[in-house]
Amino acid sequence: MPGAVRRRPAARPDPFDLTLPDVVVAKGSVGSSTLLTDVVDALLLPVAPPVEGEHDVQPRTGTADAAARYGVDLADLAERLHLTGASGEARTVELPRPNAAGRALPWVGLPPRLVLVGVGAGTPRDLRRAGAAIASATRGLGRVVTTVGADGESEGARALVEGYLLGAYRHPSRATGEPVPGPAGTLVLLGRYSQAAVLAARAAAGATWTARTLTVTPSSTKNPGWLADQAVRLAEQAGLDVEVLTERELAARGFGGILAVGAGSATGPRLVTVRYTPPPATGRGRSVPPRHVVLVGKGITYDTGGLSIKQRESMVTMKTDMAGAAVALATVLGAAQAGVRHRVTALLPLAENAVGASSYRPSDVVRLYGGTTVEVTNTDAEGRLVLADALAHADLDLDPDVIVDVATLTGAATLALGRTHAALFSPDDRLALGLQEAGEQAGELLWRLPLVPEYRSALDSSVADIHHVASKAFTGAGAITAALFLQRFVGRRSWAHLDVAGPARAAAAAHEVPEGATGFGARLLLRWLVSLA
């Protein structure tokens, strides 16, 4: 990229240099010698809800054998613990040790804790929740062993490990900015588990960890330059090519949207490009025709709303308004780790939407990359301007087969779908279906909304090529009109827009999802890239 400059990261420690807990596969069963060691702190056993007409929870792989080996009635124990077998339940039993004069108990020499884990119907969703429950129940322990998911197939094993690793994550300390470690020990999967599924789960969970920790970093640290430095650091660690355009290069190249949004901030905007190119295909990999996928992520490192300023309450979560950029970066890093067979380029348009003497104004006309002029009526609709610059650049210069953008773009998407689903827009049925299926598998759900042609007139302008928000005469459908605006900048490319404003942030922790930044989108995009044909 002409005029690009490489930016070196700051020398100080990064507050999100996190390491995932170890997960290893061990052959054998509960009856094997694996448990006969004092370094195993707990044995975690699966139970399912009672079958119709009965009251006792149902044992799954390893549970009955453990009951016999420990000499305890686990069904009675589950009843005493009010365990129902629902997914995500976990109950810990600390087993007593004999006193010096007492006789040996059946479980002497075995792990001193039993944890009964509900697995529900054993679906991937259930096992993902069970994995998160294991992470919570074993926090602070060392080596723990489980047979949860051993009777499932590779998808079940992957979901279990994903849930465990996602549940092990903790946001960096609010007080010091230092990472809060997850479980320091090791999860041992005892039985027939797919090693490939474990590796895929680690790549997916690692991408989510990266997205979460970048997103939750306070904006007192995370300005556009800092975030660009972290992208350089992470990309170079992964062996990827990375380039950064600074304010001067952005002006020379005509990226008017990124410049306008960042004009009011004391820290200038950036455009980061991270490229992953797969190694030459061999063997069966030759049958997959390589494609070029460009991921564009909205990177507003803090959003005051600009001169169209937000209310105080609405600003509190705005350090997370770069969640789309974090997901795009995490996905290209994950693609390299997973060995995706397609070329992946991540574009991160980064800016801080601040209030200053040079802030862009309502009624300004901004010329975006490629020459399109845009009439601004609301400076708080800044995300679509930086995305439009990057999308136009992808279409005009990068020759992609597919473009997918990810953004915390509109409150309208949250009003429509809440916090569990992201809004999906695409004129390409096949692309939309592939993304929806990947979301189902990953547990990151998408709901497709229409690109209504009749709404395009709401973006008409008398002084520019287009308005960036709908006119006052048009009410509602804010997520749709935002998507229609973005569509103008992708040409004839296959394109999808993910508005993740709802699920990118969680008001409370639940199962594998923490309170605050969730990293939503990284796992579904990795799934989609692996399945893309």
Dihedral pair phi/psi, residue 495, rounded to 5° = -145, 145
**Domain-embedded: residue 262:** yes
- Is the pLDDT at 320 greater than 80? The verdict is yes
Q: For residue 16, give both structure tokens.
A: 């999100």
Residues 304-340 as b/e (b if ≥16 CB within 10 A, e otherwise) read: bbbbbeeeeeeeeebbbbbbbbbbbbbbbbbbbbbeb
**Domain-embedded: residue 427:** yes
- For residues 144 and 235, state if they share a domain: no
Q: Output helix, strand, coil percentages for the chain, rounded to the nearest 5.
A: 35, 20, 45
- For residues 491 and 422, state if they share a domain: yes
- For residues 37 and 121, state if they share a domain: yes
pLDDT band at 110 (very low <50, low <70, confident <90, very high): confident
**Domain-embedded: residue 513:** yes
Top pLDDT among 507 and 533 is at 507
Least confident range of 39-53, 94-108, 112-126: 94-108
What is the C-alpha to C-alpha distance for residues 244 and 260, in angstroms, rounded to an integer?
18
Picking from 174, 171, 41, 28, the residue whose alpha carbon sits closest to that of residue 114 is 41
Q: Would you state the pLDDT for residue 209?
A: 95
Confirm if 325 and 405 have CB atoms less than 8 A apart. Answer: no
Domains of the chain: total: 2
- Is the pLDDT at 336 greater than 90? The verdict is yes
- For residues 143 and 177, state if they share a domain: yes
- Is the pLDDT at 178 greater than 70? The verdict is no
Query: Across 12-21, 99-108, 261-270, which has the greatest mean pLDDT?
Result: 261-270
In this prediction, residues 144-164 reach a mean pLDDT of 92
Q: Residue 164, exposed/middle/buried by CB under 10 A (0-12, 13-18, 19+)?
A: buried
- For residues 237 and 353, state if they share a domain: yes
- For residues 233 and 127, state if they share a domain: no
Write the DSSP symbol of residue 208.
H
Q: Would you state the pLDDT for residue 117?
A: 97
Q: Taken in order 33, 37, 40, 41, is the CA torsion positive or negative? A: positive
Last residue of a domain, one of 193, 226, 243: 193
- For residues 343 and 445, state if they share a domain: yes
Over residues 413-438, the pLDDT tens digits come to 999 999 999 999 999 999 999 999 99
Q: For residue 406, give both structure tokens.
A: 């990810």
- Global pTM reads 0.93
**Domain-embedded: residue 203:** no
Q: Which helix (H) or strand (E) holds 122?
A: none
- For residues 302 and 389, state if they share a domain: yes
**Domain-embedded: residue 230:** yes
- For residues 393 and 307, state if they share a domain: yes
Last residue of a domain, one of 130, 160, 193: 193
- For residues 80 and 183, state if they share a domain: yes
Q: Which residues are catalytic?
A: 310, 384
What is the C-alpha to C-alpha distance for residues 75 and 70, in angstroms, rounded to an integer?
13
Task: Give the structural domain span for 492.
Answer: 217-531
Whichever domain contains 178, its CATH number is 3.40.220.10
Whichever domain contains 296, its CATH number is 3.40.630.10
Question: What stretches of 437-506 adopt beta strand conformation (E)?
Answer: 445-448, 466-467, 494-499, 505-506
- For residues 244 and 314, state if they share a domain: yes
What is the C-alpha to C-alpha distance for residues 294 and 387, in angstroms, rounded to an integer?
12
**Domain-embedded: residue 335:** yes
Mean pLDDT of the chain: 91
Over residues 342-383, the pLDDT tens digits come to 999 999 999 999 999 999 999 999 999 999 999 999 999 999
**Domain-embedded: residue 210:** no
- For residues 391 and 435, state if they share a domain: yes
**Domain-embedded: residue 126:** yes
